[in-house]
Amino acid sequence: MSDPWTWHGGGIEAAKHHFGDGDWIDLSTGINPHRWPGAAAMTFDWQRLPDPEHLARLERIAADYFAIDPRHVCAVPGSEIGLRLVGRLIGGGACHVAPGYRTHGEMVSGSLAIGWAEAPDTTGNLILAHPNNPDGRALTHDAVVEWLEHRTGWLLVDEAFADTDPALSVAASVADGKRLIVFRSFGKFFGLAGLRLGFVLAPQALVAALRERLGAWPLSEAAIAIGTAAYADAGWIEATRRRLPGDAAALDAVLARHGYRASGACPLFRLIETDDGRALFERLARRGILARPFEDQPRWLRLGLPADAAALARLDAALGHG
């Protein structure tokens, strides 16, 4: 399987070069296809450097959204960068739960992959996604918090997909007396991944060390302004949380009609298993639909939400052409 599609979601340009140009549907990323609409009307003064006071306001509004003290919030240019920087800061060895997000295995040099069953008994640094990516596994809030008990290392929880169900989040448990670090992504839920905005929620000492490494102006003025307005848009957030489960159910129904059982608790994507995931990936790609294959799990294919009824119908038709 080609690296552009098995490394991360995306790679639509590589797909065009390989399979042909045309009207492509990208279902490979798990990004909300119904993006926050306010960004389109916003304008920015591109000659001005980002204002530190504006960045502080973004972090305060985001902190309110995460239900956490702003002193524990550090905005970063995408949660991907936040993961890698924090991995360098904590030091020591680590374990990461697999299957999971690829970067988790690269955050700490020599990190060991373990299964979910082993995770509660791991006392050192532990990295996991919740809800998990790519299989959508979700535990209860209390189950994750219990993993902090008797831990000698850090518990690092990647909540990139937690916005769809805030009850799953352990962000409010971050405190100076706890070895808990939480990572949040803006772009996935708000559908604006190209903005590159994320957050690290951590004890104040680690936040200070992270700010030192980020230096001045870590975010663009556009990212600051759009993030501030979007997190304050409670009406859109609530409506989107109500909408996404219905969209996921419609996708489940189409998959089931073709004999595929969807798994996962996150409504932004679904994982299916099939005898030959690569063959299905290529069949969809030849019809202009990009899914997410996995080099180490050839039976798996992950699909994000189609943006509308027409895109869902195209997927339905493509699945029907064996």
- The residues facing 73 across adjacent strands are 201
Residue-wise pLDDT tens for the chain (322 aa)?
446 766 677 788 888 888 998 899 999 999 999 999 999 999 999 999 999 999 999 999 999 999 999 999 999 999 999 999 999 999 889 999 999 898 999 999 899 999 999 988 888 999 999 999 999 999 999 999 998 887 889 999 999 999 999 999 999 999 999 999 999 999 999 999 999 999 999 999 999 999 999 999 999 999 999 999 999 999 999 999 999 999 999 999 999 999 999 988 899 999 999 998 999 999 999 999 999 999 889 999 999 999 999 999 999 999 997 5
Q: DSSP secondary structure string, 18-83?
A: HH--S--EE-SS---SS--GGGGG----TTSPPPHHHHHHHHHHHHHHHTS-GGGEEEES-HHHHH
Q: Could you tell me the end-to-end alpha-carbon distance of the chain, in angstroms, rounded to an integer?
A: 20
**Per-residue pLDDT, 242:** 98
**Per-residue pLDDT, 164:** 97
pLDDT tens-digit map of 134-147? 999 999 999 999 98
116, 120, 125, 171: which is closest to 149 by C-alpha? 120
**Per-residue pLDDT, 1:** 46
3-class SS at 269? strand
Torsion of CA 249, 250, 254, 260, to 10 degrees: -20
Residues 6+ apart with CB under 8 A from 117: none
3-class SS at 149? coil
pLDDT tens-digit map of 50-101? 999 999 999 999 999 999 999 999 999 999 999 999 999 998 899 999 998 9
Give domain 48-232's CATH number out of 1.10.3720.10, 2.30.40.10, 3.40.640.10, 3.90.1150.170: 3.40.640.10
Ranges of each domain in the chain: 3-30+235-319, 48-232
Indicate yes or no: pTM above 0.75: yes
Torsion of CA 225, 231, 234, 236, to 10 degrees: 80
Across the beta sheet with 73-76, the strand order is: 73-76, 198-201, 180-185, 155-158, 126-129, 95-97, 112-114
Superfamily of chain region 3-30+235-319: Aspartate Aminotransferase, domain 1 (3.90.1150.10)
Decide the pairing of beta strands 300-304 and 269-273. antiparallel
